[in-house]
Amino acid sequence: MGNLRVLFVGGIIFMVALSMFAASSIYDFTLPSIDGKPTALSSFKGKVILMVNVASKCGYTPQYTALEALYEKYKDRGFVVLGFPANNFGGQEPGTNEEIKTFCSTKYDVTFPLYAKVSVKGDDTTPLYQYLTKEANPSVAGDIKWNFTKFLVDRNGQVVQRFEPAVKPDAPEVVSAIEGLLK
């Protein structure tokens, strides 16, 4: 069993498991899709993945256009973009999952998979983002600083590179890294 923490709440002592297992790849996580259906990341086994925390009211929101273009260009070669809406920065993703889905599809013609809104920093960080920022790969570790942070994942579910928000999805270094993994 993983580490235990003792909590004292209302006169009752609780033993809480902090970590029941150590993830070995992103494939160990299941999150609800934007439509609320549990969707295992293992369903993307064998694909090159670009994981992005997104927001609808951010200065970087126009990156949806380049993200969708990348997805369209490379999806037949085993590439997928996964969007994770998050409202951690400046309240820039205030909508419901339904509102986010409608916005993405009508404003940016997004067809790549979107997940339900998550938290990517703070005490309520979703386990996937805890893994991405702390455990996946020391070279990409560190807190998420803003919306549209991108994690590139190889065909084995291993996080191999991180691109900060100002790096556009169609920047040469991103495209080159994706193409290198698709070979």
Give catalytic residue positions: 58
Q: What is the C-alpha separation between 4 and 19, in angstroms, rounded?
A: 8
Q: What is the C-alpha separation between 177 and 99, in angstroms, rounded?
A: 32
| DSSP bridge partners of 30 | 40
CA distances from 72 to 67, 75, 110, 136, 160 (A): 9, 6, 10, 27, 22
Q: What is the C-alpha separation between 135 and 103, in angstroms, rounded?
A: 33
Q: What is the C-alpha separation between 28 and 12, in angstroms, rounded?
A: 32
The burial of 159, by beta-carbon neighbours within 10 Å (0-12 exposed, 13-18 middle, 19 or more buried), is given as: buried
